[in-house]
Chains A and B, each alone.
Chain A
């Protein structure tokens, strides 16, 4: 089979890895001496055994982000090299990915799966997990999204992080993230996917905690990693179950063996449910669904491009990709599907409500991401995997744009993130305003834009699909309305109205440099046009996106899953009706937002006063964090202290030392027998003799 460029598929993850190595070397060689010299510390290595010089130590101002960094520096040459290398690596892998996808597209629909095995990674007995990549329609979409959006964000970061001290270190982590994400997306087996899965978890830990001197940042990083690890625990058990049921972990083998094993009774519905729910536990951890979503809002401590890349566009969607990839397994157990759907819907509505009252611009976007992810899981839960992936793509575009836009706002306002101290920024940041407004329209589901097509498709599928139900549709629609409301609330508070900025910040406000605005505009175009590739048949489009993903999901559906999603359309008019309702709800949301934040700006405060308990509850995120802290963390820590002090030190050591002291005191008592008086000695000798002879005579008498 003429694979041609596909043979170079392994270059896609290889380029970022190369970037990591090169930038890493630069970081260790070039950046370290520069930073140490700058902080007035002794030059690295070499001098040992020196008496510590008590020279003046510049207590490093906390790595302030945004433009307020410590004074202009003549950017050392290594920064320019890094600034070129990091985005370059991602750009190169985007180009290669694009070429591979194109050559894949050239193939007939059924043959669009290309697997490339590099070398056997772990092999023990019957278990084999190779390092191998698989490119098929699903992973090609993901690869393009990851590399595309990733490249834009890398370019954006060059500008955003220009005043940072540890410039190279940031890009090393970012490239490492790209490498891990691409491993996750392109892996041909569950175990390699798990490598990427934990790899991205590590990078999110490193990047959230980038400003490690801020206690809140390193706490958030640690929290993210540990909550992810709880998810990974479920994923791992899922992998074990998969291996011991199917005898292999690579996707092609597993999915091919489903019919055989199901007929032979090995693969029962209960087993399928167990596997899928365990995998889904992993997905909730990674994609921040209830109950493991708590880490995402705190992850905003990291630099904004990181939030854009990891906590909006790519990493958090890994869970959706995994569920979509294992769609064949999910279709086997209806109750697993309903669990996914219900949690998706619940998360969507729950986090949307929290989004309403948040004042930090990035927190609003964070909860919006959790909510949109809920939609994607809702789509997967009702069997509309293609719709889920479509929404994933469009969401990647407009959510990345929103984050980068808010980053540009924060950058301009020298670090200010609280919307109450913004307002009227429109005049200063025109490009940012226009692009963010476009994204807001998209996310609210205004017809014609990408958000509308993807979200509406999900709402329609949640209504019409055999797994779906009107209740799910209603929750989805309601959440869509709330989304529109808080997004426009954000726009009005930030860009419109009087300037609530404190004066000297206002003096410095200026439009971001081209390296930031160009990616914004590209993303804006994508947010608008991104949806056109998936216009549903009912609106006259031929939904090329769904058709593109069909081979991955239809072949699975054909494998005996009950009734494919693209079954009979009850009626086009019903679809139009529901579409109308969803647009209506969106417009209502926008109206209310306009009313509250443009006309009666005092109204929101008034409402808050009228129902303080409810407002307070929603503002504090339903105290979920505090409950977790109290119920889980405190209990575990106190329990461990008890285990250590009471059980370990007192109980076990008590026994051990007790035995030792017992032996010693016995020794002392026995020693005291030696009283020193010969009479006693003679008596003990006599007694011994009498006993001995008596015993012998007794034993010989009694046989």
Chain B
């Protein structure tokens, strides 16, 4: 038995490649340790520690730069797209943790485990975004999901939180079963789990004609579809989003979706071109279904959290339109929209967190009556986010949708684009209902005073608002960055 030759060079390069993940995991461990040492009132500092950790991770990712770095013999790669998604996910995590400074205090989530779970889940997302081997993707998926199950059920006292967590867990486990079975079948047909290798093998008919492989890809798609909450795999989303503490809901909506789309994009862009006719039909139907069901069910929602849950399903549908279009334009549109959606989603949730006094029935739409004029800044911010979610210029939401539907029109899916824009028109109705109650409905006298935001919280809100406006007015640089990332993937 020859001793395993320790190729230190490869090991160092591997660690070098997953630097951001290492920083995040390190912070998580630090937080857990610090939790033991700090007295009760010191718990606040845990949040500051995690914020610092994520900031460090962002700096390390930027330090790595967009160059292509292979790690662990091809299991993980830090390329342009990897960087883009890493930054998106870390930005979402940063904003979430900043909001946590306020939220934890009000909702009693001021515990070490809370921040550690968020950080670990973030690291899972980073692995998933940068994994080029199905195994890494699977590991990333699970590392991401399990902390989220716990986070959803964090409010042990609240029955809805536990119910949401249990539903999410059961269905999550169920879908990862499908995901794994997909990988197994692909592995059986292709003999390898390395995505680029599979992509290169895609040319000969033996593989893409092979039913086992196709079934494998199909099941893989099911796993992704569940995670990204495409219809008909979306059933868990409204319950999990409504049950979870609002901060976690915001985090799930923004970051989890980004990570899942990252991996899905990598698989689709690399392997689908060869088996396009079959796949494009599937994606077309999924996109159409998701947009329509998402928008229609959100129409009559009176609970803001549940409404935003259905709206996140609809937005997954819009992003899938970009995926269906495929090619560089499609990929770029998806990247850009995922980034913009993260900011819009976090911003919207941030504001409703402030306005709602308590978890469950605090998010009813009538509680928002009259705050438009009494608290103009809050009203203005929420209106801005809702307008951007509806895709009305000059916000980033509009530019995102412009490019998504543009890619669809470019690859000939004009029908899908028309369906998409009509869905946006329908979405305007429920996005404006909160605006109606804020500004136009007769305001009751005793308007509940929203919670006094911490400085970090208001900074997070302003940052997302600035992002939404800036990406709306000057999207050129972000779009080019997204395009370069997709090109680096396809090279």
Residues of A within 8 Å of B298, CB to CB, are: 667
A670 lies within 8 A of B214 (CB): no
A663 lies within 8 A of B171 (CB): no
Name which residue of chain B comes closest to A701, CB basis. Answer: B211
Contacts known (A681-B236, A685-B171, A692-B222); A697 close to B214, Cβ less than 8 A = yes
A685 lies within 8 A of B275 (CB): no
Residues of B within 8 Å of A684, CB to CB, are: 232-233, 235
B300 lies within 8 A of A664 (CB): yes
10 closest A-B pairs by CB: A667-B299, A693-B218, A681-B235, A699-B278, A688-B232, A667-B296, A671-B297, A689-B222, A670-B296, A696-B218
Q: What's the minimum C-beta distance from B233 to chain A, rounded to whole angstroms?
A: 5
Residues of B within 8 Å of A695, CB to CB, are: 278, 281-282
Query: For the complex, is B239 an interface residue (Cβ under 8 Å from A)?
Result: yes
Main secondary structure of the interface of B (DSSP, over half): helix
Cα(A663)–Cα(B281), bound, Å: 26
Contacts known (A682-B170, A689-B178); A699 close to B281, Cβ less than 8 A = yes
A667 lies within 8 A of B214 (CB): no
Cα(A697)–Cα(B299), bound, Å: 36
Residues of A within 8 Å of B301, CB to CB, are: 671
Task: State which residues 150-204 of B face A: CB under 8 Å.
Answer: 166-167, 170-171, 174-175, 178
Query: For the complex, is B219 an interface residue (Cβ under 8 Å from A)?
Result: yes
Query: For the complex, is B426 an interface residue (Cβ under 8 Å from A)?
Result: yes
Cα(A701)–Cα(B211), bound, Å: 8
Query: For the complex, is A122 an interface residue (Cβ under 8 Å from B)?
Result: no
A682 lies within 8 A of B218 (CB): no
Query: For the complex, is B337 an interface residue (Cβ under 8 Å from A)?
Result: no
A674 lies within 8 A of B281 (CB): no
Q: What's the minimum C-beta distance from A441 to chain B, rounded to whole angstroms?
A: 78
A696 lies within 8 A of B235 (CB): no
Residues of A within 8 Å of B114, CB to CB, are: none
Given pairs A666-B296, A693-B215, 6 additional interface contacts (CB within 8 A): A688-B222, A695-B278, A696-B278, A696-B282, A697-B211, A699-B281
The 0/1 profile, CB within 8 Å of A marked 1, for residues 405-445 of chain B is 00000000000000000000010010000000000000000
B214 lies within 8 A of A685 (CB): no
Contacts known (A670-B297, A684-B232); A700 close to B209, Cβ less than 8 A = yes
Residues of A within 8 Å of B235, CB to CB, are: 674, 680-681, 684-685
Partner of B300, one of A671, A678, A687: A671
Partner of A685, one of B166, B175, B293: B175
Query: For the complex, is B385 an interface residue (Cβ under 8 Å from A)?
Result: no
Task: State which residues 289-332 of B face A: CB under 8 Å.
Answer: 293, 296-301
Residues of B within 8 Å of A567, CB to CB, are: none
Residues of A within 8 Å of B170, CB to CB, are: 678, 682
Query: For the complex, is B124 an interface residue (Cβ under 8 Å from A)?
Result: no
Cα(A696)–Cα(B216), bound, Å: 10
Partner of B214, one of A678, A680, A681, A700: A700
Q: Interface centre among A663, A685, A695, by most B CB within 10 Å?
A: A685
Q: List 15 A-B contacts (CB under 8 A).
A: A666-B296, A670-B297, A674-B239, A674-B297, A678-B167, A678-B171, A681-B171, A681-B235, A684-B233, A685-B232, A692-B225, A693-B218, A695-B282, A700-B278, A701-B211
Partner of B211, one of A663, A667, A674, A700: A700
The 0/1 profile, CB within 8 Å of A marked 1, for residues 206-224 of chain B is 0011010011011101100
B218 lies within 8 A of A685 (CB): no
Query: For the complex, is B238 an interface residue (Cβ under 8 Å from A)?
Result: yes
B426 lies within 8 A of A688 (CB): no
B300 lies within 8 A of A696 (CB): no
B296 lies within 8 A of A696 (CB): no
Query: For the complex, is B277 an interface residue (Cβ under 8 Å from A)?
Result: yes
Partner of B275, one of A682, A692, A700: A700
Contacts known (A689-B178, A695-B282, A700-B275); A681 close to B167, Cβ less than 8 A = yes
Contacts known (A674-B297, A681-B171); A688 close to B233, Cβ less than 8 A = yes
The interface size bin for chain B is 35 or more
Query: For the complex, is A60 an interface residue (Cβ under 8 Å from B)?
Result: no
Cα(A387)–Cα(B121), bound, Å: 107
Residues of A within 8 Å of B175, CB to CB, are: 685
A692 lies within 8 A of B282 (CB): yes
Name which residue of chain B comes closest to A682, CB basis. Answer: B174
Query: For the complex, is B226 an interface residue (Cβ under 8 Å from A)?
Result: yes
Name which residue of chain B comes closest to A671, CB basis. Answer: B297
Residues of B within 8 Å of A687, CB to CB, are: 232
Residues of A within 8 Å of B171, CB to CB, are: 678, 681-682, 685
Query: For the complex, is A676 an interface residue (Cβ under 8 Å from B)?
Result: yes
Residues of A within 8 Å of B226, CB to CB, are: 685
Partner of A699, one of B167, B215, B219, B277: B277
Residues of B within 8 Å of A664, CB to CB, are: 299-300
Query: For the complex, is A668 an interface residue (Cβ under 8 Å from B)?
Result: yes
The 0/1 profile, CB within 8 Å of A marked 1, for residues 55-87 of chain B is 000000000000000000000000000000000
Residues of A within 8 Å of B225, CB to CB, are: 688, 692
Cα(A145)–Cα(B203), bound, Å: 101
Q: What's the minimum C-beta distance from B216 to chain A, rounded to whole angstroms?
A: 9
Query: For the complex, is B279 an interface residue (Cβ under 8 Å from A)?
Result: yes
Residues of A within 8 Å of B426, CB to CB, are: 663
Cα(A697)–Cα(B282), bound, Å: 11
Q: What's the minimum C-beta distance from B429 to chain A, rounded to whole angstroms?
A: 8
Task: State which residues 219-247 of B face A: CB under 8 Å.
Answer: 219, 221-222, 225-226, 232-233, 235-236, 238-239
The 0/1 profile, CB within 8 Å of B marked 1, for residues 654-691 of chain A is 00000000011011101101101010111011011100
Cα(A688)–Cα(B238), bound, Å: 18
Q: What's the minimum C-beta distance from B198 to chain A, rounded to whole angstroms?
A: 16
Q: What's the minimum C-beta distance from B106 to chain A, rounded to whole angstroms?
A: 28
Contacts known (A685-B171, A687-B232, A688-B233); A667 close to B300, Cβ less than 8 A = yes
Residues of A within 8 Å of B166, CB to CB, are: 678
Cα(A668)–Cα(B476), bound, Å: 40
Residues of B within 8 Å of A667, CB to CB, are: 296-300
Cα(A167)–Cα(B298), bound, Å: 69
Residues of A within 8 Å of B174, CB to CB, are: 682, 685
A670 lies within 8 A of B293 (CB): yes
B296 lies within 8 A of A689 (CB): no
The 0/1 profile, CB within 8 Å of A marked 1, for residues 228-268 of chain B is 00001101101100000000000000000000000000000
Residues of B within 8 Å of A682, CB to CB, are: 170-171, 174
Q: Interface centre among A681, A689, A695, by most B CB within 10 Å?
A: A689
Contacts known (A671-B301, A682-B174); A676 close to B211, Cβ less than 8 A = no
Residues of A within 8 Å of B296, CB to CB, are: 663, 666-667, 670-671
Name which residue of chain A comes closest to B286, CB basis. Answer: A692
Q: What's the minimum C-beta distance from B225 to chain A, rounded to whole angstroms?
A: 7
Task: State which residues 338-388 of B face A: CB under 8 Å.
Answer: none
The 0/1 profile, CB within 8 Å of B marked 1, for residues 475-498 of chain A is 000000000000000000000000
Name which residue of chain A comes closest to B226, CB basis. Answer: A685
Q: What's the minimum C-beta distance from A44 to chain B, rounded to whole angstroms?
A: 38
Residues of A within 8 Å of B215, CB to CB, are: 693, 696-697
Residues of B within 8 Å of A693, CB to CB, are: 214-215, 218-219, 222
Cα(A664)–Cα(B226), bound, Å: 27
Q: What's the minimum C-beta distance from B279 to chain A, rounded to whole angstroms?
A: 7
Name which residue of chain A comes closest to B235, CB basis. Answer: A681
Q: Interface centre among A673, A678, A687, by most B CB within 10 Å?
A: A678
Residues of B within 8 Å of A671, CB to CB, are: 296-297, 299-301
Name which residue of chain B comes closest to A684, CB basis. Answer: B232
Residues of B within 8 Å of A670, CB to CB, are: 293, 296-297
A696 lies within 8 A of B279 (CB): yes
Cα(A670)–Cα(B294), bound, Å: 9
Q: What's the minimum C-beta distance from B352 to chain A, rounded to whole angstroms?
A: 20
Name which residue of chain A comes closest to B278, CB basis. Answer: A699
Residues of A within 8 Å of B299, CB to CB, are: 663-664, 667-668, 671
The 0/1 profile, CB within 8 Å of B marked 1, for residues 90-103 of chain A is 00000000000000
Q: What's the minimum C-beta distance from B419 to chain A, rounded to whole angstroms?
A: 14
